[in-house]
Amino acid sequence: MAMSVGGDSAEKPMSDINTTPLVDVMLVLLIIFLIAVPVVVQTVDVTLPEVAFEPTTTKPENVSLSVRNGPDGCEVYWNMTRVDSKELLSRAADKLEAEVERLGSNITPDNLPEVHIRGDVNTPYKCIGGTIYTMQSAGFAKVGFISEPPPGSIKVNR
């Protein structure tokens, strides 16, 4: 602490700042942050996939679905035709059965049809999740999503 002794102290105001309380507060805050940060930053180590935009090859036997949120709830379109969940299940089962009959004994995981889902940005997850569940219930093993990459993010190799 600063202290003026004798002399002209009555004429001049003391201009020294007492920094001891400030240092005490800063040390307390430092200790709080040192204790709190490891508690907040606890995470599970996960290796996230690297996102690469690859053009998809559409085979004629693949199923193209569009899902969006409409005024009446979830709207699912098989190509350009709107279907409800029962009709989606029956169409999917019929499509898969027809493909299995067409392929005969030459069935491999590579030549089975896939489901490509285009989901609107404003669609709730329950709509897309319900569509995935319905298609998997029909027997489709491969379900993928079609997205549109941001402009300029695709690099063309020449």
- Between CA 125 and CA 14 the distance in angstroms is 67
Encode pLDDT of 4-17 as tens digits: 555 555 677 777 88
Side chain identity, residue 147: S
Who wins on pLDDT, 31 or 42? Answer: 31
Encode pLDDT of 18-34 as tens digits: 888 899 999 999 998 88
pLDDT band at 42 (very low <50, low <70, confident <90, very high): low
- Between CA 123 and CA 116 the distance in angstroms is 16
> Which CATH fold topology does 63-145 show?
Nucleotidyltransferase; domain 5 (3.30.420)
Q: How does strand 115-119 pair with strand 143-145?
A: parallel
Q: What is the number of other CB atoms lying within 10 angstroms of the CB of residue 139?
A: 14
**The pTM of the whole model exceeds 0.75:** no
Q: How does strand 81-83 pair with strand 73-78?
A: antiparallel
